[in-house]
Amino acid sequence: MAGIIKERLYTPGPTPLLMEGQARTLTATLHHRTEGFRRLLKETLENLRYYYNTKNDILIFSSSGTGAMEGAVSNLLSPGDRVLIGTAGKFGERWGQLAKAYSIDAVTVEVPYGQTLPIDEMTTKLKSDGPFRAVFIQATESSTGVRHDVEALAAEVKQHPETCLVVDAITGLGTTDLRPDEWGLDVVIGGSQKATMVPPGLAFASVSEKAWKQIAQSNLPRYYFDYAKERKNLAAGESSFTPATTLIVALHATLQYIREVGRENLIANAALLAEAARAAGTALGLKLFAESNPANAVTAIYAPPGMDSGLIVKEIRNRFGAIITNGQGSMKGKIFRLAHLGYYDFLDLVSVVTALEIALTQLGHSVQLGIGVRAAEQVYLHQLG
């Protein structure tokens, strides 16, 4: 070990933890079948509704986000149903894998990694290839750093009373303006290790009245991720199975912090950091991976031509203890990803930009030192007006 090196997370999950949330778990290790825990769980659900910007029911599962994604499939659908899937990256592909696992007939609109979903094409499919019981997309695709136009798609799905819209907003929540009630997002999936500043282990799902009606009629097999059972129990402040109590205690605390910060400010913070990250990458002469609609949660950037992006990830990790991520799937070795969501401030961003400038220099790719940080600072100052 050479000198002091602090470990820092710049990944799209897990994200930096809010210490007040972690500390709370030390003094509130409640048993889950007590009045104290029931009250805490109900308050947590109420604050999740604020975080989600919805009046819909919200469910909490002790699982990673994928568990609630599977639940969306198994609860909304019946054998023989057809669904429409939009995929533009690793997490879009996961919807396809889930449909396949349940032998659901899926029509897929797929675009290459780095592109945003073509809503017009999805609209056409909706009209021509249906009827669909559900449409599945991401709000933001974490593997590519691209945001999809959820609002526009929702406006189209609304025209189809037989079709529910399911949005994986695991990295979208708290980073992007989402309006489940106004737009008509029937199921919205979230996870604890993202903008909620809590460790991994909890999945969330908001469920609309339209979705509940469909769930009542569907009959794919489900047990642990049974949405209706969980809704009924949660109404009484109970979870169906033993919940991850300390994670819920931490979430209770972090959601109070998020209420203090304000949902809109939390989103604006991610938007500012994302803009600064893009400005820094561009100033350093690097190419951004998102061709349009870059996400606020994470910025994907091409390595310089001829350089393996894994080397940049490794150099930053070894030298500064800072964890950024490689590309996923076909983009491994080509891009790297800097996240900037949750408990993450402007000085965190300039830290990772500095680490990037030094890593590139050390790897033999000469950059003008400080120019990425300067671009980030210019974005910061510009938003002050």
Q: Count interface residues toward a second copy (CB under 8 A).
A: 49
Under DSSP, the state recorded for 287 is P
Token pair, residue 337, equals: 């990803």
Q: How far is the CB of 265 from a second copy (least distance, A)?
A: 5
Q: Cα separations (Å) of 46 from 5, 235, 255, 381?
A: 39, 11, 10, 36
Among 36, 131, 161, 262, binds a second copy (CB under 8 A): 262
Residue located via tokens 């994986």: 168
DSSP 363: T
Q: How far is CA 85 from the centre of its chain?
A: 17
**DSSP assignments along 168-201, one per residue:** E-TTTTTTS---IIIII-SEEEEETTSTT---S-
Task: Work out whether 322 is an interface residue with a second copy (CB under 8 A).
Answer: yes
Tell me the angle at which helices 346-362 and 309-320 cross, rounded to the nearest 10 degrees.
Answer: 110
**Bridge partners, 138 (sequence order):** 168
The 26-65 site mask, x for binding a second copy (CB under 8 A), equals x---------------------------------------
The residue from 268, 288, 307, 323 that contacts a second copy (CB under 8 A) is 268
**Measured from the CB of residue 270, what is the shortest distance to a second copy in angstroms?**
9
From the CB of 228, what's the least distance to a second copy, in Å? 36
- Can you tell me which residue has the tokens 């691209």? 146
Q: Are 317 and 277 in contact (CB under 8 A)?
A: no
Binding segment for a second copy (CB under 8 A), chosen from 36-44, 70-78, 153-161, 318-326, is: 318-326
How far is 315 from 297, CA to CA, in rounded Å?
23
Of 103-111, 118-126, 214-222, 263-271, the window that binds a second copy (rule: CB under 8 A) is: 263-271
Pick from 15, 214, 240, 269 the residue near a second copy by CB under 8 A. 269
20 part of the interface to a second copy, by CB under 8 A: no
- Smallest separation, CB 347 to a second copy (Å): 4
Interacting residue with a second copy among 119, 185, 189, 350 (CB under 8 A): 350
- Contact call for residue 279 and a second copy (CB under 8 A): no
Instruction: State which residue, 220 or 268, has the beta carbon closest to a second copy.
Output: 268
Binding residues for a second copy restricted to 180-199, rule: CB under 8 A:
none
- Contact (Cβ atoms closer than 8 angstroms) between residue 53 and residue 278: no
Q: Which residue has the tokens 């894994």?
A: 310
Between 137 and 249, name the residue whose CB sits nearer to a second copy: 249
Q: Strands 203-207 and 187-191: what pairing?
A: antiparallel
Rule CB under 8 A: say whether 260 interacts with a second copy. yes
Instruction: Indicate the residue among 197 and 234 with the shorter CB distance to a second copy.
Output: 197
Between CA 274 and CA 279 the distance in angstroms is: 9
Question: Out of 5, 101, 235, 236, which residue is the one contacting a second copy (CB under 8 A)?
Answer: 5
Among 66, 321, 333, 363, binds a second copy (CB under 8 A): 321
- The DSSP line for 23-58 is HHHHH----SSSHHHHHHHHHHHHHHHHHHT--SEE
* Inter-residue contact 248 to 41 (CB < 8 Å): yes
Helix (H, G, I), strand (E, B) or coil at 366: coil
Pick 27 or 292: Cβ nearer a second copy: 27
Stretch of 115-123, 140-148, 230-238, 258-266 contacting a second copy, by CB under 8 A: 258-266
| Interacting residues toward a second copy by CB under 8 A | 1-6, 8, 19, 26, 260-262, 265-266, 268-269, 272, 320-322, 342-348, 350-352, 354-355, 357-358, 361-362, 368-375, 377-378, 380-381, 384
